[in-house]
Structure 1
Amino acid sequence: MLAIIWHSRTGAAQAMAEAAAQGAAGAAIAVRLLRAEATTPEDCLAAQGFLFICPENLGGLTGEMKAFFDRCYYPLLGRLEGRAYASAIAAGTAGQGAQAQLDRIVTGWRLRRVAPPCIILTGADRPDSILAAKTLPHIALQKCRELGQLLSNGLEMGAF
């Protein structure tokens, strides 16, 4: 099973997660869209691979995504080694801070990155645009569909 664990504040990361799930749907492997705030260690243990999707807030992971890792990190320590992961970050103008924080966290789980980070920039850089609901362009959603397809096909083939 591919677990797409996501959190969204303004709709961008949710649209990215849904697009990734659409792309993954063609493979024989099961795909689960899991809201970060509801994901349990048991959900993670059932997954063969992970796609983590969230926005960047204040240069790091959102509080809800961080809370997922805080809640699940120690119960899963030593139990997920070698499983595949990829990530997608929705950001206004950067994204690298959230990506770096996510990579540091999953290093402890010994997950294996199988695709380059996908950072989608919305251009939001002022309070009104940062807080506004987001609609992503087709090309950004296509990148997420391709990422979901890559993960599900790779898991199905046993490539990772």
Structure 2
Amino acid sequence: MPKRLLIVAHAPSRNTERLRDAVLAGARAPEIEGVKVETLSPFAATPEHVLAAQAVILGTTENLGYMSGALKDFFDRCYSPLLERTQGLPYALYIRAGHDGTGTRRGVETIVTGLRWRAIREPLICRGEWREDFVDACRELGMLVAAGLDVGAI
């Protein structure tokens, strides 16, 4: 039975779509065979999607020093139904930040701390002006999480 990785990513621009798609491509690398990956907009993701997953990757833009309204909506709808049912769920976070991303990181980490989810690694914060290496970093993030899930390391 394959393990399930859920990617919940807000991608309102072509560049943020590229980041989401890179995370997905990394998670679906050919050498990772035992993981089924699903990618959803925060508006489409439900508590049932999270409950079916063994790990989650969250992606957001930095909006006025906070997470996107879309990701906040996801948490608003899903927090209570997940609260006592997903403790210890491994997650990773990437942020496309025009500034420094600290408020965005703090906002997401406050919520996932309440859910008692477990960070797999430090958040990936793609800061400042657009750089092509953001795409590579997101691909590596997707591969890291999916490979860890595949071999039972996370």
Residue equivalent to 1:52: 58
Aligned residues: 148
Residue equivalent to 1:6: 9
AA matched with 2:117: L
CA contact (8 A) 2:98 2:127 kept: yes
Determine the C-alpha separation between the residues in 2 that align with 1:12 and 1:96: 20
SS at match of 1:38: coil
SS at match of 2:153: coil
Residue equivalent to 1:15: 18
CA contact (8 A) 1:4 1:31 kept: yes
The alpha-carbon deviation at position 66 of structure 1 amounts to 0.2
Matches within 5 A, 1:1-160: 1-26=4-29, 27-28=32-33, 29-123=35-129, 136-160=130-154
Provide the aligned C-alpha RMSD in A. 1.1
Determine the C-alpha separation between the residues in 1 that align with 2:122 and 2:18: 19
Describe the superposition over 1:22-64 as per-residue Cα deviations: whole angstroms up to 9, x where unpaired. Answer: 0110212011111101101100101100110010100001111
AA matched with 1:73: Y
AA matched with 1:74: S
The alpha-carbon deviation at position 122 of structure 1 amounts to 3.7
Determine the C-alpha separation between the residues in 2 that align with 1:94 and 1:30: 33
Structure 1 residue runs of 4 or more that deviate by more than 2 Å after TM superposition = 8-14
The alpha-carbon deviation at position 137 of structure 1 amounts to 3.4
AA matched with 1:116: E
AA matched with 2:133: I
The alpha-carbon deviation at position 138 of structure 1 amounts to 2.9
> Unpaired runs of 5+ in structure 1?
124-135
Determine the C-alpha separation between the residues in 1 that align with 2:6 and 2:65: 25
Distance 1:99 1:11, change over 3 A: farther
CA contact (8 A) 1:17 1:53 kept: yes
Alignment TM-score, normalising by the size of structure 1: 0.88
> Unpaired runs of 5+ in structure 2?
none
The percentage of counterpart residues that share the same residue type is 39
Describe the superposition over 1:99-135 as per-residue Cα deviations: whole angstroms up to 9, x where unpaired. Answer: 1100110111111101111011243xxxxxxxxxxxx
